[in-house]
Structure 1
Amino acid sequence: MAILNTTQRETLTAIVDTFVAPLNQQEEEALIHNTLNTPNNCFSESQISDFSRLSGSKVNALDRIEQKLSITLSPKQINDFTMVLNLLSYRPSSVLFTGYWTLFKDLDRSCREQVLLGWKKSSYAIFRQLYNTFMGIGIIESYNAMETPLYESIKYAGIQGGHSYFQHQPDYAKVYHERLHMLTTEEAKSYKRFDAIVIGSGAGGGVTACELSKAGLSVLVIEKGRYFHQDDMEVDNDQFALSNMFDNGGIVPNAKGTVNLISASTFGGGTTINYSASIGPQQFVKEQWEKKGLPYFVSQQFENDIQSVLDRIGASTQNIVHSGPNLKLIEGCHNLGYDITLMAQNTSGRPHHCGKCYTGCSSGVKNSTTNTYLKDAAAYGAKFLDATQVMHIVTKSGKVKGVSCRIHGEKKNFVFYANTVVVAGGALHTPGLLKNSGLTNAHIGKDLRLHLSALTVAIYDDVVNPSEGSLLTTVSNQFDNFDGSTYGFKIECFTNGVGIFSGMLPWSGAAAHKQRVLRHRNAVITFAMARDMDSQCSVKYDAYNKVDIDFNISKHDGDTLTEGIVQMAKIHVAAGAREIHVTQSVIDAFVFESDEESRVDNPRFLDWIQSVYRLGPPVPSSGHQMASCRMGVSPLTSATKPTGETWDISNLYVSDSSLFPTALGVNPMVTIQAIALHVSRHIIDQQRVEAKL
């Protein structure tokens, strides 16, 4: 779908080709010289030369950007985006944005770079937001596609990783799962009524569908994303996964540019594309939730539910295969005397070398809800309908009656009737569906909590090949003070392909950025994950029902992330890193001189650490959202009852991370699944009571 006119496209081309630019002869020669003299270099001179001459427009990045914008943005957002391009294409307004009377697209590359760097370091939030938006789409859409000369020019043995790497390991053993049947449009319309309808198929929806089906209820699971059997997954292709299995095509900023969000949109939800981390809640969190009038969280029943989940998903630390990045995290923590702990994987103790869990699991080793609870639900007779958007929940006289949805993109709504409806669309989408269905509780969407993350990119002389080996097998709990007594965060690895990696690297000019992209095989990305304590955060929606987040970081949470960056930098240096790049937009990377040893007591490094403290937090990212329909003991303080049932409508339940009373502090999959067992028991009991009436 074309959304840009010729002038707008010319301006956007100039922006993209500033971020990913063809280098001049002097820059090309420098890139060749520096790369060939880098330890463990794997690139030939001709490869580097080809790479230096390519730009975003030469690999059709503009087409991919336009396609992504047409899919992910609302009409208002598209209008805002094109308005900026219009302003940059009109001299009287362009001069306000650039400081030049010459139009942006007609400036030489050096001037264009200075404009973009000015936006990056501007004291005005609007300019920083513009920079982050254009930088993200320009760089990632240039590097993310695999079928381009740009990707070919930076290809090395190990860049692909994923299943193609895993299947060549001596301990490779594929686990094959039968294909689940998705209802066709005609089949779906032959059904009118179910005992229960579950909206969403992720950690909460999958467990709930299984439990209700096992109890003998007729169940329909409706998922807005598409179903991908393991044989359908293009797990070695990041672009395919991001476009087809993630909300809005991957990592996207909120409207104000104050936080970057990533969430799933596929059958199996986040369990299909997460990093396999399998851990239950910490004791102090359970006690906090109990103090909010929810004794279930300190009960033996909750412990039993946690264990039941861990057993079903095969959580285990046996046969863990550490990736290069995880080994560096282990080394750095050991050298500093910091805690480092194995992270259980939902792999039933099987070896897993994939390195691409965020694109799905074609080996079938990862026990997602698709491969566990939803497979069980199918055996008990549950029906599945993918690529279907629920528009609203049908209610009458304070009781649920069914759902109105658009099956497989049809324009006309179709109604399924049910005695019970369970909303499990995730903390970003569940509140909107409830509000669209007429629910008025003030806490729906209001109390959103996030796990806030700050990223650090470390470049080593050693080859780590980040796409080979399991993604997240270790965690440092050294600074885990999530009770709020001081700054608390966990440190884990955030491994991704070269597309996302290129967007994580700070940009200070096209030549320097290209030099860093060539270090992908030497790079380790870690993140400090903080528990959102007191930042202002809520879910809201525009006139076109597009999700947005109103987020303002608090001083405490910001200081926590800053401390996380400092500690990650120390860990990397202790492991031998030669360069440290952080996501604070105005700080330069720290680079050890060739004659300097990587040491945390290096005076220049210590001075750089102080500059990190002075600059404060970066724009955080969040892959875990929760608490937007929190459970509680009163409609005055919560959106749902302790059972997960909404206060507004009887037999309308929530069963996902929205129910968390506060932020959790650990990877949330297991906790969501355990709470779903709790919600399911209450639904089954209620159905039995009503059956006797």
Structure 2
Amino acid sequence: MAMEQQVNRQYDAVIVGAGPTGSLVAAKLAAAGLSVVVLESGDRFKGHNALENTEANAGKIMWHEPRKHVGGDFVIPKTGVGVGGGTLSWLGVMPRFHQADFCTYSTEGVGADWPISYDDLRPHYETVEREFGVAGESGPFAPEPYTLPMPAHRMNWHAQVLARGAKKLGAQPFAPPIAINSVARDQRPACIYCGWCASGCPTGAKATAANTYLPKAERLGVRVISGAFVRRVNYDAAKGRACGVTWIDDLRKEHRVDAKVVILAAHAVETPRLLLLSANPTFPEGLANSSGLVGKNFMSHPTWQVFGTFDHPINAYKGMQMGHVMVQDYYQPKPTNGFARGYILVSYMMTPVTYGLLSGESYGQDFKDFLYDYQHTAAWWAHAEGLPSENNTVTLDPELLDSHHLPVARVTYKWGDNDVKVAAAGRDKAAEMMEASGAAKVRIGLNYGAHAMGSCRMGIDPQASVVNEFCQSHDVSNLFICDTSVFVTGTGVNPTLTAMAIADRAAEYLVAAGKRGDFQ
């Protein structure tokens, strides 16, 4: 069947984005007998061997189109692109949120309360951990003790050195949940600790959407189209419903896909951008934006890198790039802190070339000395909760256009006063721990925002949120958003597991609604 015939038909659902949430929803809908097409703007890489373990090739799986960053604080542009989405380049850390993360306004008077709770997500956390494949320990500060499907990874020497300092300060380091095989599972091998997690994983030990949910979805008949940039969600004003999408292929030809349900899973920058690009006479400020909140309350994790140089080799590159050890002792707030919310510390190490860029030099003895220290260097990633603010936004840039001649996303982001304080506390604690571990020299690295979240928050009140508790648009009943855009607060931990659990819950709702005939 020619591509035109496969595309120009009506599907039960069209999904924008082939990352972890879009792929999960595709597999769940297909398992229920629904016809699904997934559109992905990036390329498809044939097997893990297509992404060689070099930093040069890592650029293949990063977002290529320009973005405008303003506001004063930088959001790391590490957005994955390609079939697999952000999981191609991610580092796999997958802790659960805590119960208190869902009610920060009720308990502390900051942020906002979610319309869902930890209990609502518990069965979906368990499902994703089992289906995706997660190794590790729940940890001493987990919302409840739980067992993961694979044993924890052994702590490499890097992690053991960091844990030594943490214990001296009374902390309780542990091997956190991470979606990298510690043992062979689901026809994927155990990790060989080569250190190239962010470059696509050369062995396939790291779980990605491309080696878990997408193959299952395609076996069930899901059509995945790569090189498909979605430029607009189409809207039928007479019916008050989304009716599909328009997308552009690599030859700049436009196509249309009609569908009963439209599901956006393009992440917290491109999802609001697409809604704003889809403005129409009914929604002149952007599709599904009667609240005016599409693109607002953008969040990220205020983050500092802290390095320690030791007199003996650390060889941090021998292992996973992140997540051999984590500290959550400072996650929950205390009245004596002087700031709201909290932070985590997690082991982290750059690959050699990226590390060399931190020196600010490109030749000379100082540069050589800096590179020599690489094998003697350990690193903490101090990762704090950033509070939502309507001043942090994703909008359309009035000047800069992408390769399709469309306005790029303009990300306005600045740490608030509390963000600055909590991030500084994490940085200082990481430095203290590094000294306790025996570092001869402690150096503060870069600070930035990590992980894009918010921008289309969920809630009960249509005037104060974009989607409901099942990720369904308040304005357009057959439009769903299943990615980190819907986060109400950012919490202090990595977002992917919770985004996938929310998507699993939304998929369950979609299947039930489809059986009721809600989307005919």
1:347 and 2:147 equivalent? Answer: no
- Following superposition, the deviation at residue 656 of structure 1 comes to 0.4
What residue in structure 1 maps to residue 186 of structure 2? none
- Following superposition, the deviation at residue 338 of structure 1 comes to 1.8
1:325 and 2:158 equivalent? Answer: yes
> What SS does structure 1 have at the residue aligned with 2:211?
coil
Which residue among 481, 492, 503 is the counterpart of 2:332?
Answer: 481
Contact 2:302 2:415 in 1 (8 A): no
**417-426 vs 634-643, greater mean Cα deviation:** 634-643
- Following superposition, the deviation at residue 191 of structure 1 comes to 2.8
Contact 1:627 1:657 in 2 (8 A): yes
- Following superposition, the deviation at residue 692 of structure 1 comes to 9.2
> What SS does structure 2 have at the residue aligned with 1:680?
helix
What residue in structure 1 maps to residue 404 of structure 2? none
> What SS does structure 2 have at the residue aligned with 1:404?
strand
Contact 2:48 2:204 in 1 (8 A): no
> What SS does structure 1 have at the residue aligned with 2:269?
coil
What residue in structure 2 maps to residue 389 of structure 1? 229
Contact 2:157 2:314 in 1 (8 A): yes
Mapping for residues 382-531 of structure 1, pairs under 5 Å: 382-397=222-237, 398-407=240-249, 409-438=250-279, 439=287, 440-441=289-290, 442-471=292-321, 472-481=323-332, 486=337, 487=339, 488-505=342-359, 511-531=365-385
- Following superposition, the deviation at residue 256 of structure 1 comes to 4.9
Structure 1 residues 481, 629: CA separation in 2 closer, same or farther (over 3 Å shift)?
same
Contact 1:323 1:355 in 2 (8 A): no
What residue in structure 2 maps to residue 316 of structure 1? 135
Q: TM-score with structure 1 length normalisation?
A: 0.64
What residue in structure 2 maps to residue 644 of structure 1? 471
- Following superposition, the deviation at residue 484 of structure 1 comes to 8.5
Deviation digits for residues 206-237 of structure 1, max 9, x if unmatched?
Answer: 11111111111111111112222334433420
CA separation in 1, counterparts of 2:471 and 2:278? 17
1:632 and 2:459 equivalent? Answer: yes
CA separation in 2, counterparts of 1:692 and 1:344? 37
What residue in structure 1 maps to residue 74 of structure 2? 259
Structure 1 residues 485, 370: CA separation in 2 closer, same or farther (over 3 Å shift)?
farther
- The aligned amino acid for 1:404 is T
What residue in structure 2 maps to residue 684 of structure 1? 511
Q: Which has the higher contact order (CA 8 A, sep 6+)?
A: 2
Contact 1:230 1:363 in 2 (8 A): no
> What SS does structure 2 have at the residue aligned with 1:259?
coil
Which residue among 652, 667, 675 is the counterpart of 2:502?
Answer: 675
CA separation in 2, counterparts of 1:673 and 1:310? 10
- Following superposition, the deviation at residue 302 of structure 1 comes to 2.0
- Following superposition, the deviation at residue 547 of structure 1 comes to 2.1
1:542 and 2:383 equivalent? Answer: no
Which residue among 278, 300, 303 is the counterpart of 2:122?
Answer: 303
1:552 and 2:394 equivalent? Answer: no
- The aligned amino acid for 2:411 is I
Contact 2:242 2:478 in 1 (8 A): yes
CA separation in 2, counterparts of 1:234 and 1:634? 44
- Following superposition, the deviation at residue 290 of structure 1 comes to 9.3
Which residue among 439, 444, 451 is the counterpart of 1:577?
Answer: 439
- Following superposition, the deviation at residue 367 of structure 1 comes to 2.2
What residue in structure 1 maps to residue 187 of structure 2? none
- Following superposition, the deviation at residue 422 of structure 1 comes to 0.3
CA separation in 1, counterparts of 2:368 and 2:423? 28
> What SS does structure 2 have at the residue aligned with 1:220?
strand
Mapping for residues 363-382 of structure 1, pairs under 5 Å: 363-382=203-222
* Percentage of identical aligned residues: 22
Structure 1 residues 482, 400: CA separation in 2 closer, same or farther (over 3 Å shift)?
farther
CA separation in 1, counterparts of 2:319 and 2:96? 24
**480-489 vs 443-452, greater mean Cα deviation:** 480-489
- The aligned amino acid for 2:99 is Q
What residue in structure 1 maps to residue 170 of structure 2? 337
Which residue among 45, 51, 72 is the counterpart of 1:228?
Answer: 45
What residue in structure 2 maps to residue 27 of structure 1? none
Q: TM-score with structure 2 length normalisation?
A: 0.84
Contact 1:449 1:628 in 2 (8 A): yes
> What SS does structure 2 have at the residue aligned with 1:540?
strand
- Following superposition, the deviation at residue 691 of structure 1 comes to 6.7
CA separation in 2, counterparts of 1:257 and 1:449? 14
- The aligned amino acid for 1:539 is V
CA separation in 1, counterparts of 2:68 and 2:413? 11
Structure 1 residues 541, 328: CA separation in 2 closer, same or farther (over 3 Å shift)?
farther
Answer 1 or 2: which has greater strand percent: 2
- The aligned amino acid for 1:401 is C
What RMSD in Å do the two structures reach over aligned CA positions? 2.6
CA separation in 2, counterparts of 1:323 and 1:219? 43
Mapping for residues 7-406 of structure 1, pairs under 5 Å: 186-187=2-3, 189-192=5-8, 193-241=10-58, 243-248=59-64, 254-261=69-76, 262-288=78-104, 296-299=116-119, 301-317=120-136, 318=151, 320-350=153-183, 351-352=190-191, 353-397=193-237, 398-406=240-248
Deviation digits for residues 519-538 of structure 1, max 9, x if unmatched?
Answer: 21222222110000256421
Structure 1 residues 435, 526: CA separation in 2 closer, same or farther (over 3 Å shift)?
same
Any gaps of 5 or more consecutive residues in structure 2? 137-150, 184-189, 280-286, 402-406
CA separation in 1, counterparts of 2:443 and 2:505? 44
Which residue among 386, 394, 412 is the counterpart of 1:532?
Answer: 386
- The aligned amino acid for 1:461 is D
Answer 1 or 2: which has greater helix percent: 1
